[in-house]
């Protein structure tokens, strides 16, 4: 995968009644991915977007999807979701006893397989699957809700993950960051090795989304 700096707006932060307008702005601004948070009320204490939403978005744009599955036992539910080549699918290491199997299922459909890790999860969970991944999603807040504050220790963790990937010959594997990616935090995250930045209420979804994208783009260049 390319390690070019990319933006992935978090669609859960959109006004759903204006979704089409948002998508056309994202297309105009050459947004690289669309981040879709799927929550099951079990793995995280919230429910968000689901299978029909993913299907609709896939139908109305060519922008690759960035599915963030915050669901237990994702290996049994991947077939519910519409994704394919060029899309990213992140599953949480904490949510499955079959991490390797789940990653294979994603790869077999041609998508990019990412492992997501919560702030409290040590990076050694990557050890036995490092050869099978295209990237790591480092959660910089505890997953479940938009609008939270950065967990400061995750900045060091991003650097640690980068080092670990490089030492294991995975120089092309990318690091995605999700949670309180404000303009200021994005700069710090970039310094320590982040490649894909999830834009939520802290950056893109403020008054003017084009301006938010522009500011975030500038911060990560
Ligand atoms: C959860 C979400 C949130 C959120 C990011 O996985 O992706 O982290 O929308 O936006 P902020 O933290 O800026 O509200
Ligand atoms: Zn997310």
Q: What would the pLDDT profile of 82-135 be if each residue is shown by its tens digit?
A: 999 999 999 999 999 999 999 999 999 999 999 999 999 999 999 999 999 999
Q: Is residue 66 part of a domain?
A: yes
User: Judging by beta carbons within 10 Å of its beta carbon (0-12, 13-18, 19+), is residue 52 exposed, middle or buried?
Assistant: exposed
Q: Is 178 a catalytic residue?
A: yes
pLDDT at 207: 87
118 CA distance to ligand 1 middle (Å): 13
Q: Is residue 149 part of a domain?
A: yes
Q: Is residue 1 part of a domain?
A: no
CA pair distance 152, 156, nearest whole angstrom = 8
Q: Is residue 208 part of a domain?
A: yes
Domains of the chain: total: 1
Q: How far is CA 221 from CA 51, 191, 196, in A?
A: 33, 11, 12
| pTM of the full structure | 0.98
Neighbouring residues of 2: CB distance < 8 A, sequence distance ≥ 6: 172, 174
Neighbouring residues of 14: CB distance < 8 A, sequence distance ≥ 6: 22, 205
* CATH for 190: 3.20.20.70
Q: Is 15 a catalytic residue?
A: no
Which ligand 1 atom is at minimum distance from the Cα of 140?
8
Print the domain residue range for 183.
Answer: 6-220
pLDDT at 1: 87
**Pocket flag, ligand 1, residue 48 (CB < 6 Å):** no
Q: Is residue 214 part of a domain?
A: yes
**Pocket flag, ligand 1, residue 8 (CB < 6 Å):** no
CA pair distance 151, 179, nearest whole angstrom = 9
Q: Is residue 89 part of a domain?
A: yes
Q: Is residue 93 part of a domain?
A: yes
Q: Which of 66, 87, 134, 178 is catalytic?
A: 178
Which residue minimizes the CA distance to atom 10 of ligand 1? 200
pLDDT at 68: 98
Low-confidence ranges of the chain (pLDDT < 50): none
**Pocket flag, ligand 1, residue 147 (CB < 6 Å):** yes
Q: Is residue 22 part of a domain?
A: yes
């Amino acid at each position: 995968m390319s390690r070019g700096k990319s933006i992935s707006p978090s669609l859960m932060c959109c006004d759903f009644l204006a979704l089409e307008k948002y998508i056309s702005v994202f297309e105009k601004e050459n947004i690289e991915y669309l981040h879709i948070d799927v929550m099951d009320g079990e793995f995280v204490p919230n429910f968000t977007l689901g299978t029909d939403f993913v299907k609709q978005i896939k139908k109305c744009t060519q922008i690759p999807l960035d599915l963030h599955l915050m669901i237990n036992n994702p290996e049994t539910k991947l077939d519910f979701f519409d994704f394919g080549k060029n899309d990213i699918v992140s599953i949480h290491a904490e949510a499955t006893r079959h991490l390797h199997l789940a990653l294979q299922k994603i790869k077999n459909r041609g998508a990019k397989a990412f492992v997501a890790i919560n702030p409290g999860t040590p990076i050694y969970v990557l050890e036995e699957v490092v050869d099978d991944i295209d990237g790591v999603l480092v959660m910089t807040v505890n997953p479940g809700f938009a609008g939270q504050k950065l967990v400061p220790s995750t900045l060091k963790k991003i650097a640690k993950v980068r080092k670990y990937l490089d030492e294991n010959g995975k120089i092309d594997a990318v690091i995605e960051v999700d949670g309180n990616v404000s303009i200021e935090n994005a700069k710090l995250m970039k310094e320590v090795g982040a490649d894909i930045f999830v834009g939520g209420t802290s950056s893109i979804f403020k008054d003017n989304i084009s301006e938010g994208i522009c500011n975030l783009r500038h911060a990560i260049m």
